[in-house]
Amino acid sequence: MGVSKTIFESAGQRSEHLVPGAYTRVNYEKQAGGGVAANNAVIIGPSAGGQPNTVLYFSTPTEARATLRSGALLEAVLHAFDPGNGYTPQRIGAMRANVGAQATASLLYSATTQISLIAWDWGLHTNQLKRKFTAGTVSNTHKVQLQLASGDIQVYDNITHPSFCLQYIGAGSAASMAIDATGITVTVVGASDGLTVAFDSFTTIDDLVNYINDHATYQAVKLAGNGLELTANLDHCTGIDVKSSVTTFKSDLKAIIDTFASSGYIYSATHPSNEATRKVPAYDSVWVYFTGGTLGTADSTAYTNSLTALEQQSVHIIGTSSTDEAIHLLIKAHCALMSSVSGKKERMAWLGGAYGETVAATVARATNLASDLVNLAYPGFTAYDPITPSLGIKQCSAAMYACKLLGMETCLSINEPVTNKKVSVLSWAKECTKTELETLITAGVTAGGKSDSGNLITIRGVTTWQGDEVQRCERSMVREATYMARDFRAALGGDIGRPANLVGPSTINSVLGAKAIEWYNAGLILKAADKPFVWGVTIREDGDAIYVEYHVYLTAPRNFIFGTSNLHVLVQQVVAI
């Protein structure tokens, strides 16, 4: 797990930090920090680049552009980084749903693969990677060159790795040496002091050199490295004269593989495990392109796999670029599973439909979702194309509006709603009437509209829950509830496995009391005049289990302020002087 993040919460905003430093925020208001993480957000969708089914966190839009390259996922992430109301997310997570393939290449020696290369990324663009393997500038060395499209050429020159040298100095008239996968063999003519060394017994160059030098008719010297290099990495050879002069034996194939692996363009460089021969590959006369890179498809199966991968991650807010209702239902089911008693990784979702979708269709979506863990945003909007601003104004789906709200929420305190916050859009796809807004809110839709002063805002952040319990309809209150569940569970987790006499009702009550004070100071719960912070506490022991039940008042958002003006006409008698 590593060190936990330090939380900085103030001015209705929350950030989580691992890198030491001095951090400030303008317009301070007293808020409490502490507890577990709450604002890890991930958007799922298709992109041209990035490792599939892996959470990729970005601290800036530039980082996202470099990795995701293009596609709906990149657009969604860029919208999340530009939510509006002056908020700037610290980081946004992305998970690529379309499982594209990485381009590959092979370097051969006499029709056998000696090096298998896999490109650094997944997608069609990896087919533009090319390599050239040639002789190095210095004699008996090698050169590797890599280039993506017409970009800068990476050049690695004079690659070699001499491992040891050897000479036979015995009475034989000739001596020749061979290296294969099992070991080395020296065949001597005219004498009986030939040599066989098995790599299984002598696994390092040090071992090998020491063994050879224990034979009086041989001299061997370690040439490079620390001697711990594996003998199994030696280049194979046959019929090498070791009588006439000192002969050097190398591990050049390993050095070439390591060189490829060091490039940022290469995901992996390996010698095939089923190939017994180890030979330096043949040189290239021209550039050789990688092949086999594919984009992949973001269908329901792909999203199911992405959500399965997401189960293991510490994520609290999920969004998607998809407007497909079937995908939305998968995300709803995922949030329900992860927020269950056994899931223990509570999370909520932001979803949205297509641009131009009607109020009636959106109401139907919300009715089908019917979850206090899911918000459905509406309507779509116009904005400058976030990927290519030079293309001008673009029509964006309500799913992108949902991603803006996801980004905004990562900046907010847990109890701070998105209600009445300005949204970074040029216009709404539909300017809803008051009647339509009431219809949408009643159906559980988070609707965008205009404030009395003409600002483009989120009218009210309600979940798609179809009941009338305010603590399940207001997203900020559900966020409070799921956060406190995680926080209380984390506080008790360290007591699992301890003796029952050390973890009794007094321990549980003490932890609960301390947590209640933290929650109150953070503005997550309220205190009634006639009750303590937490009330109605019951604790019951049963064998190796202990059960606790308690009551708190969640903090509701202030959605309404009503004022009544009592007006009077002044009537008084005027007395003449």
Span 448-498, pLDDT tens digits: 999 999 999 999 999 999 999 999 999 999 999 999 999 999 999 889 999
The 104-109 sheet, strands edge to edge: 104-109, 112-119, 266-270
Q: Is the pLDDT of residue 24 over 70?
A: no
Mean pLDDT of the chain: 94
Q: Is the pLDDT of residue 204 over 90?
A: yes
CB-facing half-sphere around the CA of 233: CA atoms within 13 A = 21
Element spanning 542, H or E:
strand 535-542
Q: In this predicted structure, which of 69-73, 89-93, 492-496 has the lowest mean pLDDT? A: 492-496
Q: How confident is the model at residue 27 (pLDDT cuts 50, 70, 90)?
A: very low
Q: What percentage of the chain has pLDDT greater than the value 90? A: 90
The domain segmentation of the chain, as residue ranges, is 6-98+297-474, 104-160+254-289, 162-250, 477-554
Q: Which CATH number fits domain 6-98+297-474: 3.40.50, 3.30.300, 3.10.50, 2.40.50?
A: 3.40.50
Q: Which residues pair with 546 in a beta bridge?
A: 541
Average pLDDT over every residue of 387-400: 97
pLDDT at 179: 98
Q: Is the pLDDT of residue 350 over 50?
A: yes
Span 293-348, pLDDT tens digits: 999 999 999 999 999 999 999 999 999 999 999 999 999 999 999 999 999 999 99
Q: Is the pLDDT of residue 291 over 70?
A: yes
CA 103 to chain centre: 22
Strand ranges inside 97-137, DSSP E:
104-109, 112-119, 129-135
Q: Is the pLDDT of residue 403 over 80?
A: yes
120 Cβ neighbours under 8 A, 6+ residues apart: 102, 126, 263, 264, 265, 266, 267
Query: Does 6-98+297-474 match 104-160+254-289 in CATH topology?
Result: no
Q: Is the pLDDT of residue 575 over 90?
A: no
Helix axes 359-369, 325-338, angle to 10 degrees: 30
Domain covering 104-160+254-289 in this structure, CATH number: 2.60.40.4290
pTM over 0.85: yes
Q: Is the pLDDT of residue 392 over 50?
A: yes
Average pLDDT over every residue of 219-231: 90
